[in-house]
Amino acid sequence: MSSFDPIHLEVLRNALEATAQEMGAVLKHTSFSPNIKERMDASCAIFTADAELVAQAEHVPVHLGSMLRAIGETLDVTGPLDEGDVVIVNDPFVAGAHLPDITLVSPVFSAGERIAYVASRAHHSDVGGMEPGSMPGRSTEIYQEGIIIPPIRLYRDGVEQHDVMTMILGNVRTPAERRGDLNAQLAALRVAERRLQELAGRIGVADLKAGLNEILDYTERRMRGQLADLPRGVWTCEDFLDSDGFADEPVRINLRIELTDDRFIFDFAGTSTQRRGNVNAVAPMVWSAIFYCLKLLTDATLPPNSGVLRPVEVRIPEGSFLNCTRPAAVCAGNTETTQRLADTILRGFAQIAPDRIAAASNGTMNLIGIGGIDPRNGQPYTYIETSGGGQGGRPMGPGMSGVHANMSNTLNTPVEALEISYPLRITRYELRDGSGGGGRNPGGEGIVRAVQIVGHEARVSLQTDRRIFAPYGLHGGANGQSGQNWTVDASGRHHSQPGKCSISLRDGESVIMETPGGGGWGTTGTA
């Protein structure tokens, strides 16, 4: 039996979440790439010895929700880890993300007993593949998207496995940067290990392990209490991705939501089948979107751990584009499909609790990847970034402008940092006036961002959506404007580009991204 009363349990829970936050700070400040150091495209979490997510920092929702299930899948492959082991994995069909998201997992021991696991996941700016940045606009199989790392020990008994590291670094365009970012992830694991061992030393191993499980039980009770206050019933909804990058046809997400006395059921029967392009997703991506949306529907103060999902059942048809099979291309499943999943789920939740749910936000991560040979030093470089847009109008007020929303919680790369790090120039960076949908609470504005190539020829990849299907308004609010992509040649002529593509640009040419605005909420003039 544990000696935890409610006060001491809350102290423990906050200590764990503070540890996850500290992990993130260490990762951010010791990383090499601007994608992590400036944008914090990374996440950290703590798991029980049985691989249940017990604490996380409020980093990137798409990372954290998928790690919730992926760490258990990883340990199913490797078996329990011994002291000093560190496993590395990026295989989406195990780790539940896309190849650039590399995850490190290590156990924490105290008094010779395994008490927890800790994990850090970071989006690396290049992991090889057919295009710089490893996020091609149009790929048809996962092998084109980069090196696939199954769950394998990068450290064994505290010793780096040099052959494994050499193999990984030999398959990427920027090996020094990759090693630096992996070392930063390792540093995050080490600080978590120390903090958890300190906790175990203060309260004892048995009480700490019992306390971790009590936190999950407490979260489950709170989640079930939230669901008890919602109406019972069945609701249906749908939304669409513009295309998969190849066929000019929408990709459908169909969702049936059912709330019974003891289960919240999400059934995706009727969703489009597996696609040729890279919008395919693996099941943990779907769980990730559900995990995030449930917090919006219920209580934002719910502890962000696996207890939230204990009353939840998810049904995803195998062979659909939301539960694809190897070797499907999946890199945009993590960025674009999870955003549309969030839009679809929230559209259903707006029927359940109309006064809690915002209109659709910009609904895309607006990803751009650029790479080539830096003329300043003759070395390869890769730049990757997602851009914000308009937030949907909310029941309590207007949506924010120029922000990352829903499944992305990253920052922008400051212009100064970008131009120092890469042979690129930002020539426009402004809000996209008039792009937010009107309504009692209007949607936020998208942004306009123009990147110019300086002194070399570069490959540019775009993974964007909501270029056809606009972000929806709710309760009479107008849709936000859909986005647009352009290139500008040396003579200043603008050329429209599709939502998903890879192209070459020469010195002085530019790519311009106009991101969608958010949908409006409520009819103008209503009380």
3-class DSSP state for residue 488? Answer: strand
**DSSP letters of 88-133?**
EE--HHHHSS-TTEEEEEEEEEETTEEEEEEEEEEE-S---SSSTT
φ/ψ (deg, to 5) at 121? -125, 130
* Percentage of the chain modeled with pLDDT above 70: 98
- Give whole-number Cα distances, 144 to 127, 173, 195, 218, 465, in Å: 11, 14, 40, 44, 21
Check residue 488 and give its pLDDT. Answer: 98
Closest CA to 315 of 275, 341, 346, 283: 283
pLDDT at residue 67 in the model: 81
Contact 394, 522 (CB under 8 A): no
**CA 147, CA 392: separation in Å to the nearest integer?**
37
Tokens of 448: 């306009």
pLDDT value, residue 70 = 85
115-152 pLDDT tens trace = 999 999 999 999 999 999 999 999 999 999 999 999 99
The sign of the dihedral angle between the CA atoms of 165, 166, 172, 178 is: positive
Q: Residues of the chain whose pLDDT is less than 50?
A: 1, 527
Q: In what order do the strands lie in the sheet with 264-267?
A: 233-241, 251-259, 264-267, 312-315
Task: State residue 408's pLDDT score.
Answer: 84
The reported pLDDT for the residue numbered 61 is 65
Write down the pLDDT at residue 57.
81
Q: Give the pLDDT of residue 1.
A: 42
Q: Is 168 within 8 Å of 149 (Cβ atoms)? A: yes
Segment holding 245, helix H or strand E? none
pTM above 0.75, yes or no: yes
Per-residue model confidence (pLDDT) at position 59: 65
Number of H helices, E strands in the chain: 11, 20
CA distance 278 to 331: 6
Per DSSP bridges, beta strands 264-267 and 510-514 are unpaired
Q: Please tell me the predicted confidence (pLDDT) of residue 527.
A: 47
CA angle 251–496–381, rounded 5-degree value: 90
Cα dist. 311→126, 153, 282, 306, 308 in Å?
Answer: 38, 34, 21, 10, 7
